[in-house]
Amino acid sequence: MVDFDLRSANARLRASNPLIQCITNTVVQQFSANVLLAVGASPAMLDHEADAGQFAGIASGILINFGTASNHQLLAADAAIDVANAAGKPWVLDPVSVGAVDFRTSRIRRAAADHPTAIRGNASEIAALAGVGLGGRGVDSTDEVDAVLPAAAKLARETGAIVAVSGPTDAVVAHIDGTDHVARVSGGYELMPLVIGTGCSLGAVTSAYLAAARTGLADPDADASAVHAPEQAADSQAASARFEAVVAAHAHFAVAGELAADGAKGPGSYSVNFLDALYAVDGDRLAGARVSIDALDASEGVQA
């Protein structure tokens, strides 16, 4: 069974201060930048095709989020993904509203086929991307997290990505050494869905933790092909490190979400409190996050 050291994951993030390139939803750019700064990373919102690829060579990790994608962002994403894959750098796909409309869905599926390091979305988005659901209502989920775990496992096996499903209790699924593992992360607060950017910024923080995890590998460059080629046997140490990183990002948000509830009177004050809480979450607090790890039962597998 995979084991996690969330305290060390947080220490690596704070020590490495990874530079995260965000090709993301224009509605949440400022919030996502502030979130990255609060957790100990550095944001860069370079999303024009003329320089996105070059900057991806400088960045530690990348977020691809087509929430309000322009033609510039679509081309920028293509360029950045190519560079990230060639360099073995981690990149995260947030499949916002996949299944809602045809063109968006086709572009998200194309990105998913390029083997992201992690995929993070709500239950309906994950089901739709796995080909076993129709998607949600815009950015809102109409499915339950546990109900789509088989779809998440299917997506993890097909893409090689760590797949995270957001909900009242988050679930993170990884296919390692022939086994589908699921980590459940409890926490957060009921006001989180009322603050625009909490989900999108979680994708950015996931990229930051993945980038920090890569710096902790004995030879990160040696894993470059395994990260992005599911047909090859991925190194279990590197795969476990990526699993831990994605769980750490979700645990960081879960713990901060609970801390931010103290004194919040509504979505506005909660948003401010949340940034402060993200900054306050240290290794000790993260180590106390409510995380459980299990193997996904074979009977829960999905055929589609």
Residue 132's CB is within 10 A of a number of other CB atoms, namely 17
Only one residue has tokens 């960081």, namely 252
Give the integer Cα–Cα distance in Å for 131 and 125: 10
Q: Which residue numbers belong to the known binding site for substrate?
A: 45, 197
Six token digits for residue 28: 């949440």
Beta pairing partners, 21? 44, 62
Determine phi and psi for 137, rounding to 5 degrees. -105, 95
CA dihedral 271, 99, 203, 191 (to 10 degrees): 20
Q: Which residue numbers belong to the known binding site for ATP?
A: 120, 166
Give the integer Cα–Cα distance in Å for 202 and 250: 7
Q: At what angle do helices 29-39 and 267-280 cross, to 10 degrees?
A: 30
Only one residue has tokens 């999108």, namely 200
Q: Which residue numbers belong to the known binding site?
A: 45, 120, 166, 197
Residues 163, 128: contact at Cβ < 8 Å? no
